[in-house]
Amino acid sequence: MALLNTPVPYPGEIWVVVRFLASRSGPVAYDTLRAFLEPHSRESKKLTTVHHALSALRSLGLAEEGSDGQDWVLAGDLATLSWDDYAAFQRALRSAVLGLRGHQPAETADDLRRALVWSLTRDPFSESFNWVVVDSRHQRDAPDGDLVFVNDTRWPPFMAWATSLGLGAPAPHIAQRYVPDCTRAVQQVLEEHLPPDTPVDALDVLRLLREHLPVLPGGVLSNSLGYGLADDRTAGAALSFALMRGEYEKWLVLSSDSDAKQPIKVQDPEQSSLRLCSSIARQETPHV
């Protein structure tokens, strides 16, 4: 069952199940999960949200079912999760969906990855989307000519998944719209891999981000779907937005050295041409 299809729960509902499992010291019986999280449905024989959340986690390699078919434990990057660490849940979910940290890209996430790649080619500086806009203007924007979304029922879960993965966000200025704002994912990757207050070559940072967020333009997944870049030093609109937001929020410092041999090109809406950036430094901020 694809993650964008019903009855797969939204990530927020999956988080409730993950948080309960993480709060326990060992395997948790399926009936116990039902009793605590869905007491109103214990007598029902229908498959419930808990069942579908566990199935989605298992498909992503983030939960395992015991040999008796009854007990469940968290697995993969969630195996040592603290019950209140939502940021770690985000990172684990993103790694599983994108096939990182030893995870194999799950077939259940094929449609989600394809939609993420498409969305991150768009321009968050000037574009926001709802289903009507996507359906009327962008449904055949994919290089293969196929629909970006098979049908309209996949748009709401896509927005929920993209937001939970840190690769999208609700538009702050227009209700019920979405922007391809990957700032949260970019910030988490840089927090994990860059020492604070240490300038790093901007091209190295660009390559690091594409390695850990391969749905970005220039990343492996993006390239495999036909969204290649002519110049690998161009950050692209979505990543430029995240870098510029990081600078505005003062957790990034973007510097330009006139003698730099390989500066990257960042889109800046306040400039008529691409902005050159030769080094990037991460500033220490509260944990996210």
The chain-wide mean pLDDT, for the chain, equals: 92
* Strand ranges inside 104-170, DSSP E: 169-170
Q: How much is the average pLDDT of 157-161?
A: 96
Q: In the chain, what percentage of residues exceed pLDDT 90?
A: 77
| The pLDDT of residue 288 | 47
Q: How much is the average pLDDT of 165-193?
A: 94
At 282 the three-state DSSP class reads: strand
pLDDT tens profile 110-138: 999 999 999 999 999 999 999 999 999 89
| The pLDDT of residue 185 | 98
Distance CA 55, CA 62 (A): 10
Instruction: For residue 272, name the pLDDT band (cuts at 50, 70, 90).
Output: confident
Q: How much is the average pLDDT of 43-64?
A: 90
| The pLDDT of residue 105 | 77
> Is the model's pLDDT at 286 over the cut of 60?
no
Cα–Cα nearest to 93, from 124, 72, 63, 117: 63
pLDDT tens profile 54-95: 999 999 999 999 877 789 999 999 999 999 999 999 999 999
| The pLDDT of residue 1 | 60
- Helix 110-119 to helix 155-164 angle (10° resolution) is 80
The pTM for the full model equals: 0.93
C-alpha dihedral, 196 to 205 to 171 to 90, nearest 10°: -70
Residue, of 288 and 266, whose pLDDT is higher: 266
One-letter amino acid at 159 equals M
